[in-house]
Amino acid sequence: MGILPETFWDSSLCEIVDMMESHIRREEHKRKQKILDHFVKAEVYGFYASLPFAEGEVKTPKPWDYYPDFFRKEKEVFEKAEQEKALEEYREKRKEYILEFNRRRNQ
């Protein structure tokens, strides 16, 4: 469990039981987290294994899809970059349209 002998001998029976129950809860939480991590790995592996058979546009999973609170900042940075990329693509298409329109008008 990892407590010092002095702590053990200086603690009451109820305190020792509380420490043991706390240890059990921590271990259970670690086990659940490990199971969740394995589940996420399996899901992502399955997704990438099925990619060759997918039709149309496929949205690849991102870490914040599984851990939204943990990757909040990364998600915001990614979404901002995606918006800037989409805006730049729009500007390029608009510029091409204007050039083509002017070319046809001048003919």
Predicted pLDDT of residue 1:
55
The 10s digit of each residue's pLDDT in 6-24 is 998 999 999 999 999 999 9
Sign of CA dihedral 36, 41, 47, 49: negative
Predicted pLDDT of residue 59:
83
Q: Is the Cβ–Cβ distance between 23 and 1 less than 8 Å?
A: yes
Q: For the chain, how many helices (H) and strands (E)?
A: 4, 0
Instruction: Calculate the CA 28 to chain-centre distance.
Output: 23
Greater model confidence, 65 or 85: 85
